Amino acid sequence: MTSRKLPLSLLLATGALALGSMARAADAPKITPETLVDRAMIEELLVDYYSQLGAGKHDFSYWFAADGILDVNGEIGQGKEGIEKIYRDTAARAVGRKGTFKMLLTNIKISVNGNTATADMIWTGIISETVTSKPVLDEQGHEHDELVKQNGRWVFKHRWVTSDGGMNAALLKTYKKR
């Protein structure tokens, strides 16, 4: 059996990758049974929150801290009234939409650090006009959330929701690409 020497550049590149991975892992919050429970609670919050869209429910501020901020494409609402106003305005712009609307959440990344957390995801809105019609992609975008745990319950402190496609033209005046 012959011995082969690896090129020095390959050894250096492998070492740099290993060190980079270790540095990222050291910066990440530690995963514990408690943080896994918190992550599950945040996932439930996201599903419950988004389930209200298209269902005729309008208590979105319930999911926010009292001074919470919602930023949808640069349109900003703070506190219960500000957040509810954004959703009333959004519902008014959706008049004429037929069928069932559902929101899919994908590529969810949640990081828990004590009583604060962040969540990043891609969202995709789908409309099915009838039970026999093919579903249609209506809108798509991404969001970044800052959350806080208050009295054992996770709530949004600040949400940034940004459209990447299918945005209502009425939002162009405030739209900020993020």
Question: For the whole prediction, is pTM greater than 0.85?
Answer: no
Q: What is the pLDDT of residue 177?
A: 81
Q: What is the mean pLDDT of residues 27-52?
A: 89
pLDDT score of 17 more than 50: no
- HSE toward the beta carbon, residue 133, CA cutoff 13 A: 12
Quick: pLDDT tens for 108-132.
Answer: 999 999 999 999 999 999 999 999 9
Give the residue among 141, 104, 98 at the shortest CA–CA distance from 126: 104
- Inter-residue contact 97 to 126 (CB < 8 Å): no
Residue with the bigger pLDDT between 37 and 170: it is: 37
**Which residue pairs from 83-89 have beta carbons closer than 8 angstroms and sit at least 24 positions apart in sequence?**
84/58, 84/60, 87/58, 87/60, 88/58
Query: Per-domain residue ranges for the chain?
Result: 31-167
Name the token pair of 143: 């969001």
Strands of 153-165's sheet, edge to edge?
Answer: 75-78, 64-72, 153-165, 136-150, 116-128, 100-113
Tell me which CATH code domain 31-167 carries: 3.10.450.50
pLDDT above 80 (res 22): no
Q: If we measure between CA atoms, which residue out of 91, 64, 62, 67 comes closest to residue 78?
A: 67
Q: How confident is the model at residue 18 (pLDDT cuts 50, 70, 90)?
A: very low
Average pLDDT score, the chain: 84
